[in-house]
A = this chain, B = another copy of it.
Amino acid sequence: MNDVRRQESHRCQTRRVTATDSALALEQLYADFAANDLIPLWTVRGDLMPTAPRPSAAAHVWRWSDVYPLAVRAGALVPVGRGGERRAISFANPALGGHPYATPTLWAAVQYLGPNEVAPAHRHSQSAFRFVLDGQGVWTIVDGDPVAMRRGDLLLTPGWRWHEHHNTADAAMVWLDGLDIPLVSALDAGFFEFGPEEVSDRSTPVTSRSERLWGHPGLRPLGEAEPDRASPLMAYRWEHTDAALDAQLAVAASGHPSRLARGHAAIRYTNPSSGGDALATIRMEMHRLAPGATTAATQSVGSSVWQVFAGEGTITMADRSVDVGHGDVVSIPSWCPLTISARSALDLFMFSDAPVYEALGLAAPRGGST
Q: Which residues of A contact B (CB under 8 A)?
A: 22, 25-26, 29, 32-33, 36-46, 48-55, 57, 60, 62, 66-67, 70, 73-74, 77-78, 81, 83-94, 98, 100, 104-105, 109, 124-127, 158-160, 181, 184-193, 209, 211-225, 228-231, 233, 236, 240-241, 243-244, 247-248, 250-252, 256, 258-260, 264-275, 278, 280-281, 285, 301-303, 333-335, 353, 355-357, 359-362, 365-370
A-B contact pairs, 30 of them (CB 8 A): A25-B73, A36-B67, A38-B67, A40-B88, A42-B78, A42-B84, A45-B85, A46-B83, A49-B126, A50-B192, A125-B367, A159-B362, A160-B369, A184-B362, A187-B334, A187-B362, A188-B301, A188-B302, A191-B365, A212-B250, A217-B217, A218-B278, A219-B240, A222-B285, A223-B265, A224-B258, A228-B369, A230-B368, A280-B368, A359-B360
**Contacts A40-B89, A247-B212 given; does A52 touch B357 at CB 8 Å:** no
**Nearest CB of chain B from residue A10's CB, rounded to whole Å:** 23
Complex Cα distance, B337 from A217, in Å, reads 32
Contacts of A55 in B (CB 8 A): 188
Find chain B residues with CB under 8 A from A42 CB. 78, 81, 83-88
Give the chain B neighbours of A335 by CB distance below 8 A: 188
Residues on B with beta carbons closer than 8 Å to the beta carbon of A90: 38-41
CB nearest to A127 among chain B residues: B368
Q: Do A370 and B89 touch across chains, with their CB atoms under 8 A apart?
A: no
User: Which residues of the other chain, B, contact A181 by a CB distance below 8 angstroms?
Assistant: 48-49
- Each complex incorporates copies of this chain amounting to 4
List the B side residues contacting A233 at CB < 8 Å: 217-218
How distant is A350 from chain B, measured CB to nearest CB, in Å? Answer: 11
Which of B33, B43, B125 touches A70 (beta carbons < 8 Å)?
A: B33
Whether A124 contacts B49 by the Cβ 8 Å rule is yes
Complex CA gap A42/B185 in Å reads 17
Do B275 and A274 touch (CB < 8 A)?
Answer: yes
Residues of B near A281 (CB, < 8 A) are: 360-362
Contact A51 B89 (CB under 8 A): no
A241 partner residues in chain B, CB cutoff 8 A: 216, 219
A370: B residues at CB distance < 8 A:
228-229
User: CA of A285 to CA of B105 in the docked complex: distance in angstroms?
Assistant: 29
Beyond A40-B87, A213-B244, A221-B265, 9 additional pairs, beta carbon < 8 A: A25-B77, A38-B90, A42-B85, A44-B100, A159-B368, A212-B248, A224-B258, A272-B272, A359-B360
